[in-house]
Amino acid sequence: MKIENRFLKYISFNTQSDYYSTTTPSTACQKELAEFLVEEMRILGLVNVHMSEYGVVYGTIPSNNDHQGDVIGFIAHMDTSPDASGENIHPQVIRDYDGKRITLHDDFILDPQEFTDLQKVIGHDLITTDGTTLLGADDKAGIAIIMSMAEYMFKHPEFKHNDIQIAFTPDEEVGRGTEHFDIETFHADYAYTIDGGDINEFYFENFNAYQVLVEITGKSIHPGSAKNKMINSLEVAQTFNQLLPIQQRPEFTEGYEGFHHLNHMQGTCEKTRLEYIVRNHDYLKLKNQINDFKRIQAYLNSLYGYELVDVTIHEQYLNMKDVLKDYPEIVEQVEIAMQDVGLHPTIVPIRGGTDGARLSYQGLPCPNLGTGGFYCHGPYEFVSITMMKKGVELLLRLIRNNVYEKQDIPF
C-alpha cells in the first residue's frame, strides 16, 4: 500500500483525546483505530500482536537473523489533539508543490510568507486540510511510517534484522500516553518515537513541563448592593494573568526560551479556574517560573485578606536529555543513518514533549524522529508525503546499520 493511502485511511478515524475524561483511553474512538492496526499488523506477519486493556497496541516483527543486533522499538501515538476537531477530515492532496499560497477554505490560506516551513517542501507532494479541521499528521504520519516500514520488511525477507518492537499509544496529546505502557512487554533495548516535524530533524531534549491550576474564590454579591463587598473572581483572574511576565507567553518565545501558556479559563463572579502549562528546557529556570505563580498567589491573598487564590502544581514530564546523555550511541546512530539516506541531520530542542520523554525516565531510552508534519493541532496542519517516504527509508537504515555493525559486515 502506498504510504499516502495508508495515512489517508488512518486520518479517517476520529481519535481526539479528552483532557477531562477519567477513562483510559480517554475516548473510546481511539480503540477503533487500535483494533484496525492490530488486524493490519497481523496481516503483515507481526507476532505477539495485541491491544492492552488500556488501549496500547503492541507487536513484534520477529528476528530473521538469529537475534543478532539490538532490539529496537518504534512508537507513535494514535490520538489527535483536543484543540481542534478531528472529525470528518477532508484532506487535500497537492502534487509537486510549487511554492505558492494554498487556499484551504474561505479565509484559511497557507501562505509561505507566514508559514515559512512551506519553503522547505517545494517540489514535494503534500496533504493539507480543507481549513475546517486538523489533519492528524500528529501523529498518524508516524504510524504510517512505522507500518510502511513493517510492510517493506514483510515483503523483503532478505532484509536481515533482529526483533523489532512496535507500539502505538493513546492519549499522548493529553499527557497520559505512557501511564500504562508496559516496558517489560515491549522488551526493547531502546526505542524511537516517530512524532515530529521536518524529517531532517531529530530530538533528544525537550521541555521540562508542569501544569498549574489556579482557582480563585470570590464573593458574589448582587451588583446593586456590591460596593465594598463584591470580589469578582473573574476580575481577579485577569489581574493574576496580567501579573505574570508578558514576555514569557508562548507567542513571544522560541528555541530554548521557556513560557507559561494560559490554555483554559472558566468562571463566574463566585469562582474562576485558570489552567496553565509551564515549560522550560532548563529545570532551574522552570522552578523560577513556578515561583512566579506562588508569589502572585501570596500577594493577592495578602491584598484581599483571605485565601482568595489557590495554586496547584503538577509535574507532567521532564527533559529526556538528562537520561539520554548516558546513551550517546543511540543519538549518534541516528545521525549516521540520516547521512546515509541523504538527509541533513539537525538536532533541534522540542518545544513540547513526547511519549519518549516519560519512557526515558521509566527506563526505555527514547529519542524522537520527525515525520514531515507541520503546524499541528489546527487547520493549517500539513504533511509532506515525500518526507514520510524518506522516514520509512530512515527507519530501515537504522535497523540495517545496527545489524551490519553487530555482524561487522561492510557496506
User: HSE (CB half, 13 Å, CA atoms) of 129?
Assistant: 30
Best CA proximity match to 354, nearest among 179, 137, 194: 194
Give the β-pairing of 368-369 and 190-194: parallel
Backbone angles phi, psi at 397, to 5 degrees: -70, -40
Cα 159 to chain center, whole Å?
A: 30
Q: Is the Cβ–Cβ distance between 355 and 170 less than 8 Å?
A: no
195 is annotated as contributing to ligand binding? yes
Q: Is the Cβ–Cβ distance between 77 and 86 less than 8 Å?
A: no
Give the C-alpha separation, 79 to 77, whole Å: 6
* Cell numbers at 224, concatenated: 446593586
| Whether residue 139 has a cis bond before it, omega within 30° of 0 | yes
77 is annotated as contributing to ligand binding? yes
* Cell numbers at 37, concatenated: 492496526
107 is annotated as contributing to ligand binding? no
Catalytic center residues? 79, 172
Best CA proximity match to 386, nearest among 172, 126, 40: 126
**Long-range contacts of 150-156, Cβ-Cβ distance < 8 Å, separation of 24 or more:** 150/41, 150/44, 150/46, 150/61, 151/1, 151/44, 152/392, 152/396, 153/61, 153/396, 154/44, 154/45, 154/61
User: HSE (CB half, 13 Å, CA atoms) of 330?
Assistant: 26
**SS3 label, residue 346:** strand
Give the C-alpha separation, 172 to 132, whole Å: 23
260 is annotated as contributing to ligand binding? no
- Report how many helices (DSSP H) and strands (DSSP E) the chain contains, helices first: 10, 18
139 is annotated as contributing to ligand binding? no
Q: Is the Cβ–Cβ distance between 72 and 188 less than 8 Å?
A: yes
Annotated binding-site positions for Zn(2+): 77, 138, 173, 195, 377
